[in-house]
Chains A and B, each alone.
Chain A
Amino acid sequence: MSNALATLPDKATARVPKVNYLTKENGILSWLLTGDHKRIAILYLISITFFFFIGGSLAGLIRLQLLTPNGGLLATDTYNKVFTMHGVIMIFFFLVPSVPATLGNFFIPMMIGAKDLALPKINLLSWYLYMAAGMLALYTMMTGGVDTGWTFTTPLSTHYVNTNVLTTGLAVFIAGFSSIFTGLNFIVTIHKMRAPGMTWFKLPLFVWAHYAASILMVLGTPVLAIAIVLVALERTIGIGVFDPTKGGDPLLFQHLFWFYSHPAVYIMILPGMGVISEVISTFSRKRVFGYTAVAFSSVAIAVFGFFVWAHHMFIMGISNYAVIVFSLLTMLVAVPSAIKIFNWTFTLYKGSITFETPMLYAFGFMGLFTIGGMTGVFLGTSGTDIHLTETYFIVAHFHFVMVGGMLMAFLSGIHFWWPKMTGRMYPEKMSQFAAVVTFIGFNFTFFPQFILGTLGMPRRYASYPPEFQILNVFSTAGATILGVGYLLPVLYLVWSLKYGAVAGDNPWHATGLEWQVQSPPLTENFPELPIMDHDVYDYEWLEAKEQAALNAKEVPSVG
Chain B
Amino acid sequence: MDQISPVIWQFLVKWMTNFALFPPEASKIAPQMDALYFFIVLVSLIGLTIVILLVTSFSILYSKERHPVAVQIEGSTLLEATWTIIPLGLFLVMFVWGALIYFRVYTPPANAMNIYVVGKQWMWKAEHPGGQHEINSLHVPTGRAVQLTLISQDVFHSFSIPAFRVKREAIPGRYTTVWFEPTLPGTYHLFCTQYCGTEHSHMIGDIVVMTPEDYQKWLASSTSGVSLAQNGERLFASLSCNACHNGRADARGPSLANVYGSKLILSNGQSVTADDAYLRESILNPSQHVTEGFAPIMPTYQGQVSEEGVIALVEYIKNLNSNYRVEQTLNTTGLLPESEGKAAPAAQGTVKK
Contacts and interface: CB of A to CB of B under 8 A. Distances in A.
B20 A153 contact: no
Interface in A359-381: 363, 366-367, 370-371, 374-375, 377-378, 380-381
Interface string A154-189: 011001110000000000000000000000000000
Given A349-B73, A352-B69, A384 B55 contact: no
B64 A345 contact: no
Nearest to B192: A458
Nearest to A378: B40
A156 B72 contact: no
A293 B75 CA distance: 9
Interface residues of A, number: 95
Interface string B189-200: 101111111111
Contact of A290 (B33, B80, B102, B201): B80
Nearest to A335: B88
A350 interface: yes
Interface stretch (A31-39, A244-252, A264-272, A433-441): A244-252
Contacts of B83: 338-339, 342
Interface in B250-307: 284-285, 302-303
B198 A77 contact: yes
Contacts of B173: 244-245, 250
Contacts of B158: 315, 390
Contacts of B75: 289-293, 343
A454 interface: yes
A361 to B, nearest CB: 14
Interface stretch (A49-57, A321-329, A494-502): A321-329
A462 interface: yes
B168 interface: yes
Given A147-B197, A352-B67, A382 B79 contact: no
Given A349-B62, A385-B98, A156 B73 contact: no
B40 A352 contact: no
Contacts of A286: 70-73
Interface string A464-493: 110100100000000000000000000000
B169 to A, nearest CB: 4
Interface stretch (B46-54, B137-145, B321-329): B46-54
A285 interface: yes
Contact of A383 (B79, B102, B194): B102
B63 A353 contact: yes
Interface string B180-224: 000000000101111111111110100000000000000000000
Interface string A374-406: 110110111111110111000000000000000
Contacts of A317: 168-169, 171, 174, 176
B55 A345 contact: yes
A327 B99 contact: yes
Contact of A370 (B48, B107, B169): B48
A161 B36 contact: no
B156 A250 contact: yes
B68 A1 contact: yes
Contact of A456 (B68, B88, B162): B162
6 contacts: A245-B284, A354-B64, A381-B95, A386-B33, A390-B158, A456-B162
**Which 3 pairs from chain A and chain B are nearest by CB?**
A456-B162, A244-B173, A383-B101
Interface of A: 1-5, 76-77, 80, 147, 149, 151, 153, 155-156, 159-161, 244-245, 247, 250-251, 284-287, 289-293, 314-317, 320, 323-324, 327-328, 331-332, 334-335, 338-339, 341-343, 345-346, 348-355, 363, 366-367, 370-371, 374-375, 377-378, 380-387, 389-391, 451, 454-456, 458-465, 467, 470, 539-540
Given A155-B172, A383-B36, 9 more contacts: A289-B75, A331-B94, A335-B84, A339-B83, A345-B51, A383-B97, A391-B193, A460-B200, A460-B201
